A and B are shown apart, each in its own frame.
Chain A
Amino acid sequence: MFLGEMYEGIKHILKRTFTMKYPYEKPLLPKGFRGRHILYMEKCTGCGICAWICPERCISFVPPADGQQHPQNPENRFPQYWYARCCFCHFCTDYCPTGALDYSPDYELAEYDRELLVWSPERLARIPTNGTYRSVFHADKGSMGVTFEPAEKEDKT
């Protein structure tokens, strides 16, 4: 009477399990993953559209740390992000008229100090180097239906 259901459970006993041993194995993130933002300071004009569209009002404007005057930015102001409030919707990235903001796969942003969650423009301008991403799992015609394999390509950021 219960044979159908018991077969369903028993047939998975001898199959290979998959566990991703984070932080030694990390998932391969797709292009355009919404992690933290990258700021290209040579393109930002200080227009303020990112601060206006932000749902959480986490963007404010500060002058650059080295006091250098950038020619395309008349008011000499650059966005500063408060990541305690950011919901990572990336409307700022999409609505920026000059393309000065970009996506990045950097999601490991935890800090021990709350003040460190305010990212200055220079800190945002650093390109993240998160190392190689190793594994990807997706549905397949395999025996269990799901395969788990190491990714061959390195993450190009």
Chain B
Amino acid sequence: MDVSVGPQHPGSGHVRLLMRVDGDYIVSIDPDIGYVHRGCEKIAEYRTAVSNIPHLERPCIIDAIHLNWGYVLPIEELQGVVVPPRGQYISTIAAEMNRIMSHLYWLAINAGVFSGHTTIFMYGFGDRDLFIELMEMLTGARLTYSFLPPGGPRRDLPAEFQKRLTQLLDYFERRLVEYDRIFFSNPLVIARAKGIGVLKREEAIRLGVTGPVLRGSGVKYDVRKVEPYGAYSELEFDVPTFEEGDSYARFMVRFEEMKQSIRIIRQALEKLPKGPIARKAPLIIPEGEAIGRVESSRGELVYLVAGDNSDKPSRVKIMNGSFRNLVAMPYLVRNVHIADMPIIYGGLDYWPVEADR
């Protein structure tokens, strides 16, 4: 019997998973994507280099700083613009705050609501709102930042920002202990997620998955360590890796990443240098092609930008984590109970708008 999950999803974005079901077991699954495809890459050829920023940060709006930063890295390389150190630190602080916010959204919806745990949904969104307030103080907008044009950030840290951010991080560290008690050590969650959807290390490498899915299967790969950008080369942090490869390991990777993000932000606030935050960038993209990559919350995000000496790029290619992790879905959801499918889907943190662009 064929069961079609979707394409309307109140929780995640719109994707259709065509499941072939035999009794209570899923025999195979065929993801049918493209319900939110807008032609991002084609539209990007009609906008100038700076005007593209609000357009290209929309695919995964809860992770907007990373999508923005990955796009300006190749443009800065082609134009020969170097961002000053203070600008790199501010971008790093904003990016790590964005990572915490994206993981809180994941925790609330993909791990919480999809497994039926509505308390963590309330906790996750409530705490995320405090971070949104601070980003509003920094950039002026709650979710659609457009904060990093080529050359550096648009604004400097406001006067009270450092004090309020430190206050928030102290509060959030206490909340993470509560999250652990209510969700990650909850016997019900452990029973639902441990041992489900096991992706072994060789398979993860062969399928080319990325992000927390890869680190939950024992491969220690993080673009922030492999090819440091921003201020990451001067900051100390760990890359959490778990060996089991099941859904619970993927949950725990994101939980530990939130703690590491707090550590990074604290160090960056201490070591913040003085000086200018941005350089003026030219308005023309010179001829050539450049590749830039960042570690977004869902995995490695690679951009190819090709210019032809005009103000508009001639080709923008986006390779993001959600699209690469899609290949793991038909592989993992085989011969499992129907009730295990939301847990595996939530563990992959698939963001349909980002995958479809």
Contacts and interface: CB of A to CB of B under 8 A. Distances in A.
Contacts, number: 77
B155 A4 contact: no
A139 B130 contact: yes
A55 B178 contact: no
A8 interface: yes
Q: Indicate the member of B50, B126, B149 with the most A CB atoms within 10 Å.
A: B50
Interface in A51-102: 52-55, 87-91, 94
Contact-size category for B: 35 or more
Contact of B178 (A8, A32, A90, A137): A8
A32 B47 contact: no
Contacts of B181: 4-5, 8
B73 to A, nearest CB: 19
B171 A55 contact: no
Contacts of B146: 89, 91
B339 interface: no
Interface of A: 1-2, 4-5, 8-9, 29-34, 52-55, 87-91, 94, 103, 137-141, 145-146
A145 to B, nearest CB: 5
A145 B47 contact: no
Given A4-B185, A32-B155, A91-B51, A138 B133 contact: yes
Given A1-B187, A91-B50, A55 B141 contact: no
B27 interface: no
Interface in B143-157: 144, 146, 149, 154-155
A30 B187 CA distance: 43
B171 A140 contact: yes
28 contacts: A1-B187, A4-B181, A4-B185, A5-B182, A5-B186, A8-B178, A8-B182, A30-B140, A32-B158, A33-B136, A34-B141, A52-B48, A53-B51, A54-B51, A55-B51, A55-B55, A87-B54, A87-B144, A88-B141, A89-B53, A89-B144, A89-B146, A91-B50, A138-B168, A139-B170, A145-B174, A145-B175, A146-B126
B140 A34 contact: yes
Contact of A30 (B47, B154, B158, B178): B158
